[in-house]
């Protein structure tokens, strides 16, 4: 009966000491995988999008680091879309924000894949990221259509 109490005690001891050495190694490995994901798939996707959107008069700013990525699309000085990719654990999520003509804004969080098992960073290609961005961009432009 007291086994669960011992388990709970160990949990809090590990938590207060920063976890186990194995946890630290796993965390470092996960951080490295996330960094590689942003550098090898997200950044190239965002660069291609910036180039193509520029052909249509859009100003595009990208910011990609080891643990974050965002792409802002502006047209005639107005923000059309702020698109971010956030990774929680090993699961990436797209987040979007766009302004509406009244001056307010709408924010949403989406998913890269649907189904029983959510996408993980290993599941996504550069093309998956581009396709998701385009779906969000079309949706936001349709919502703010003059």
* Per-domain boundaries in the chain: 21-143
Q: What is the pLDDT of residues 2-41, one digit of tens each?
A: 788 877 887 777 766 655 555 555 577 788 899 999 999 9
d(Cα 50, Cα 139) in Å, to the nearest integer? 18
Secondary structure, 3-state, 109-120 = ECCCCCCCCCCC
pLDDT of residue 138: 92
Q: What is the pLDDT of residues 78-137, one digit of tens each?
A: 889 999 999 988 899 999 998 877 778 888 888 887 777 788 999 899 999 999 999 999
**11 phi and psi, to 5 degrees?**
-55, -50
Closest CA to 85 of 122, 27, 34: 34
Cβ 89 vs Cβ 30: under 8 Å: yes
**Element (DSSP H or E) covering residue 102:** none
């Amino acid at each position: 009966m007291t086994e669960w109490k011992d388990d709970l005690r160990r949990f809090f001891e590990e938590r207060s000491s920063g976890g186990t050495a194995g946890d630290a190694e796993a965390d470092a490995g996960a951080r490295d995988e996330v960094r590689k994901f942003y550098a090898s798939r997200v950044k190239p996707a965002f660069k291609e999008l910036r180039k193509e959107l520029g052909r249509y008069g859009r100003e595009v700013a990208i910011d990609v680091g080891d643990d974050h990525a965002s792409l802002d699309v502006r047209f005639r000085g107005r923000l059309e879309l702020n698109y971010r990719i956030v990774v929680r654990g090993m699961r990436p999520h797209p987040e979007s924000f766009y302004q509406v003509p009244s001056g307010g804004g709408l924010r949403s969080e989406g998913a890269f894949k649907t189904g029983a098992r959510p996408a993980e960073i290993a599941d996504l290609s550069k093309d998956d990221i581009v396709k998701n961005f385009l779906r969000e961009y079309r949706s936001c432009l349709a919502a703010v259509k003059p």
